[in-house]
Amino acid sequence: MLTPDLPDRASALFFDFDGTLVDLAPRPDAVRVEPQVPELLARLGSLVGGAVAVVSGRPLAEIDHHLPLPQRLSVAGVHGAERRGADGLVRRIAVPPLEPALAMVEELVREHPVLRVERKPCAVALHYRQAPELEDACVAAMSEAMRRCEGMTLMRGKMVVELKPRRASKGAAVRSFLDERPFRHRRPWFFGDDVTDEGAFELVQSLGGVAVKIGEGETLAAHHLPDPAAMRDWLARAADHLAGVPVERVAP
């Protein structure tokens, strides 16, 4: 895979959050955001006409909490099940009642308190990062939960299995952004670290854009950065480049 070059002012920049902008943490609530990240996202946004968005599995409200900016970012949360465009409007995919699925998963969590269930708008996630040996049990419980909820599907991630709307995906969220101002008619870039980002990688590359995998693992992305620290360094260099500051380009 190639090291990504630097964008121009006709770019639209999309970033996953966990494992991309920030390092993965043992629990979602233990994540640490380096102080320069919100500043760099705001700076990049000002240099590309506001065409910057975060596309995450986290709920929109959590992204706002972790990335407090004077002007709110465009965000797709819960893998695109909820999305706030540059116009400030929040759109959510309708889902059936999730209580039957939640009850099924909470039963397993009571048996294994090391597991963590996360109730999101439009989704339920079961985290087993601290008990990888329980992966099969988690997948079985979530599969049964899916059968109790019409229109939902399972998605696997890094030590997490999630029940989400079948219509929701990061690729679909990016496609929706690209149909709107200020993202329209721009070359898309997508940065992500997980299998949940592969649909967005495929989409942006089909449109002539740039897909960047953060970390190791098989991927459709043609470009690569080794870790979130390298991602943050890229953000700083990209912002300087767009502002006209001479930047040394990294060899592929």
27: which strand partners? none
Q: Which of 16, 18, 193, 194 is catalytic?
A: 16
Judge whether 136 counts as a catalytic residue. no
The 3-state secondary structure of the chain, one letter per residue: CECCCCCCCCEEEEECCECCCECCCCCHHHCCCCCHHHHHHHHHHHHCCCCEEEECCCCHHHHHHHCCCCCCCEEEEHHHCEEECCCCCEEECCCCCCHHHHHHHHHHHHHCCCCEEEEECCEEEEECCCCHHHHHHHHHHHHHHHHCCCCEEEEEECCEEEEEECCCCHHHHHHHHHCCCCCCCCEEEEEECCHHHHHHHHHHHHCCCEEEEECCCCCCCCEEECCHHHHHHHHHHHHHHHCCCCCCCCCC
In single-letter form, the type of residue at position 207 comes to L
* Backbone torsions φ then ψ of 105, nearest 5 degrees: -75, -40
Active site residues: 16
